[in-house]
Amino acid sequence: MSQAFRVLLKKVASGPHTGKNLTRCEAEAALSMMLRAEATPAQIGGFLVAHRMKRPVPEEFAGILDAYDRLSTRIAPLPDATRVPVVLGCPYDGRTRTAPVTPVVALLLAEAGVPVVMHGGDRMATKYGLPMVEIWRSLGLDWTDCDVGRLGHALDRARLAFAYTPSIFPESSALVDYRDQIGKRPPLATVELMWSPYAGAARSICGFVHPPTEDFMRGAFALRGRSDLITVKGLEGSCDLPRSRTAIIGVSTGDLQERLFLRAHEFGLSGADIPLDSEVDYLGDLSALLAGKLDTERVAELAKGAIWSGGFYLWQSGGCADLAAGLTRAEATIASGKLLETIATIRAAIAPN
């Protein structure tokens, strides 16, 4: 048993009257001991439950992110420092209710010359939803054996990299089983949305479900000296903008903060968010969309979701002058089938030498 960890556990698990928040340094130490298995399974499980019940604060999130950065292997900065990647933070436990358009968004950005970084692992609790790594594999892109060197090459040459965390950060995988055992998403699930496997300056895009989470994210980024952030009340906590309701978005750049309320119907893209009724059907529809074959109602509706999100991020990444121009470019690129060429370029970039 780790006596040092026991002290930190006692601090967060003493209840509403005597419990205390961890400092940034203490949170980093706690996560480091968990990731290195210096804490016992009982201590780790107790911490994850107590930390969730206590509710984390920005200082703790900042410390946990410090530990992630220190213990993981990350992608080296691009040779050209003016190329600032976009990091799309996706829930590690996947999607179960709505069809993801995030891969299309990533490809649209890459096709437009904007470097994109994504990350995640295999299916995990609590949702055991469809993870991004399986979607990419269905498109002929297997990232599971790519080390950070090949990821950096792909990011530089093809402008897209997906970091498979069991490969680049195996220590984090040791905590996955605890999620199933405790039956609840621990605060680490929020940290994964904020973490970047890219070691240089980047623009992070983080989805959230509950409004307090957005404040925690902003606070943690500020403590870490990061000011380039977009927060989105997205579908299932993802980066995907909803079409069925107003998209609530926070844009932070330097000292400037802006709140956006965007409505798809004002741009001719209204409709229901596409349900993920069948993963097989969804993957087939996604392949058709990328080929520009929009001749069925399901694929056409999926394309509207991709245009809505893709156009917004093209605008925010500087690829287009405004949202209308971003939507126009996203629609034209999808209809042309050019994204299949982008996939082929990425496949060549990650192929073993």
Same domain, 8 and 59: yes
Same domain, 173 and 223: yes
Cβ–Cβ under 8 Å, residues 232 and 207 = yes
* Burial (CB count within 10 angstroms: exposed 0-12, middle 13-18, buried 19+), residue 234: buried
Give per-residue pLDDT as tens, 326-349.
999 999 999 999 999 999 999 999
Residue 194, domain member (yes or no)? yes
Residue 50, domain member (yes or no)? yes
Residue 227 has pLDDT above 90, yes or no: no
Same domain, 309 and 177: yes
CATH number at residue 219: 3.40.1030.10
Residue 78, domain member (yes or no)? no
Residue 263, domain member (yes or no)? yes
Same domain, 90 and 157: yes
Residue 9 has pLDDT above 90, yes or no: yes
CA separation for the pair 267, 167 (Å, rounded): 41
Last residue of a domain, one of 22, 48, 71: 71
Longest dimension (CA), the chain: 63
Same domain, 66 and 187: no
Q: Count of domains in the chain?
A: 2
Domain range for residue 37?
3-71
CA separation for the pair 167, 64 (Å, rounded): 20
Give per-residue pLDDT as tens, 272-322.
999 999 999 999 999 999 999 999 999 999 999 999 999 999 999 998 999
Residue with tokens 């993870």: 131
Average pLDDT over residues 210-224: 94
